[in-house]
Amino acid sequence: MTSLVLLLDPIAADAQPDDVELAASLTFVPPEEPILSAFDAGAGRGDGIFETLGANDGRARGVEAHLDRLAASAVKLDLPMPHLGQWRAGIAAILEALPADGQASIRLVLTRGTDPSGPPTCWLTGTTVPDRVPERTTGIRVVTLSRGYVNDVGESSPWLLVGAKTLSYALNMAALREARRRGADDAVFTSTDGFALEGPTSSLLVRQGNTIVTPAIQHGILAGTTQADLFDFLASEGFACEYRTVEASELLRSDAVWLVSSVRLAAPVTAVDGTAVATDLDLTARMNAALLA
């Protein structure tokens, strides 16, 4: 497995560096080299943001969508606005250093650093991943887990940072552990008023006839980049694609359900809370082929 670490010397968002200055702001370091202070807010408090991109055969998917979401998360957390050109150059440098063939994961991380008034701490990682991901064909079993708040909490309580991709992922990891304790592979978060939201590390798609639905992003979930790519593909295949509220009970009576993410791609859900649900493995294969292409 190839693992890369690239440090960024952050550039102000409104700066106009040339290619030489951009290159000088990027430094590869050995993966085993310590790079983070014990006093960094990202390590001590989870006070930071990140994005994870999937890559295949030397090309990253959804670069601009991920950069846009990184900037949106920075606004929500009152973090310094990232210089997107610098991060774009960092992604290109990681891609060039990764093997030209096969699949990989690229992670972008920005923390508040060691001083609230000082520069942020910024880095990227690149890691090769297996080309064969069994969940794309065998599917996953999920359980529904309450997130503990109502569907529209993102509008009523913006300080909860729903819709921002923060480093505070302890809750998400706890949900995955709980799912496994219950004999499942993953989870779907639900609101206290009975709506399905998203997975701990993925977006939710539901098929009902010729319509593909995903929960509306204004209702306390993270905008999905892989979901958006799939909506483009599915629309070209003749499906109607909708953003709306999704009742948790719809998961049991739909024609297919998927959890989708940048690295795992589209994983068909085979059971919800122990009850088998319908799958569409042919459409799943076409969706994953489209993402990898």
Residues 200-214 have pLDDT tens digits of: 999 999 999 999 999
Q: Could you tell me if 275 and 142 lie in one domain?
A: yes
Contacts 24+ apart (CB under 8 A), 244-248: 244/213, 244/215, 244/216, 245/151, 245/195, 245/215, 245/216, 245/219, 246/195, 246/196, 246/204, 246/206, 246/213, 246/214, 246/215, 247/194, 247/195, 247/196, 248/144, 248/188, 248/190, 248/194, 248/195, 248/196
Domain closes at, from 68, 96, 129:
129
Residues 3-28 have pLDDT tens digits of: 999 999 999 999 999 999 999 999 99
| Mean pLDDT for the chain overall | 93
Question: 30 is in which domain, residue-wise?
Answer: 3-129
Rounded to 5°, angle at Cα 81 from 157 and 114: 90
Indicate if the pLDDT at residue 257 is higher than 90.
yes
Domain closes at, from 129, 150, 175:
129
Give the pLDDT confidence score for residue 103 in this predicted structure: 94
Q: Could you tell me if 74 and 177 lie in one domain?
A: no
Please, are residues 126 and 3 in contact by the beta-carbon 8 Å criterion? yes
Q: Could you tell me if 185 and 202 lie in one domain?
A: yes
Q: Could you tell me if 14 and 103 lie in one domain?
A: yes
Q: Over range 44-62, report the average pLDDT.
A: 94
Domain closes at, from 129, 156, 171:
129
Residues 186-203 have pLDDT tens digits of: 999 999 999 999 999 999
Q: Could you tell me if 30 and 153 lie in one domain?
A: no
Give the pLDDT confidence score for residue 155 in this predicted structure: 72
Residues 150-181 have pLDDT tens digits of: 877 777 777 777 777 888 888 999 999 999 99
Q: Could you tell me if 261 and 281 lie in one domain?
A: yes
Q: Could you tell me if 120 and 179 lie in one domain?
A: no
Q: Could you tell me if 194 and 263 lie in one domain?
A: yes
Residues 70-106 have pLDDT tens digits of: 999 999 999 999 999 999 999 999 999 999 999 999 9
Q: Could you tell me if 112 and 232 lie in one domain?
A: no
Q: Could you tell me if 125 and 147 lie in one domain?
A: no
d(CA 285, CA 7): 37
Q: Could you tell me if 74 and 161 lie in one domain?
A: no
Please, are residues 158 and 32 in contact by the beta-carbon 8 Å criterion? no
CA distances, 270 to each of 171, 228, 257 (Å): 24, 23, 8
Q: Could you tell me if 201 and 237 lie in one domain?
A: yes
Q: For position 185, which CATH number holds?
A: 3.20.10.10
In total, how many domains does the chain have? 2
Half-sphere exposure of residue 129, counting CA atoms within 13 Å on the CB side? 20
Instruction: Tell me 138's DSSP state.
Output: H
d(CA 271, CA 87): 39
Q: For position 16, which CATH number holds?
A: 3.30.470.10
Please, are residues 129 and 80 in contact by the beta-carbon 8 Å criterion? no
Six-digit token string for 79: 């973090």
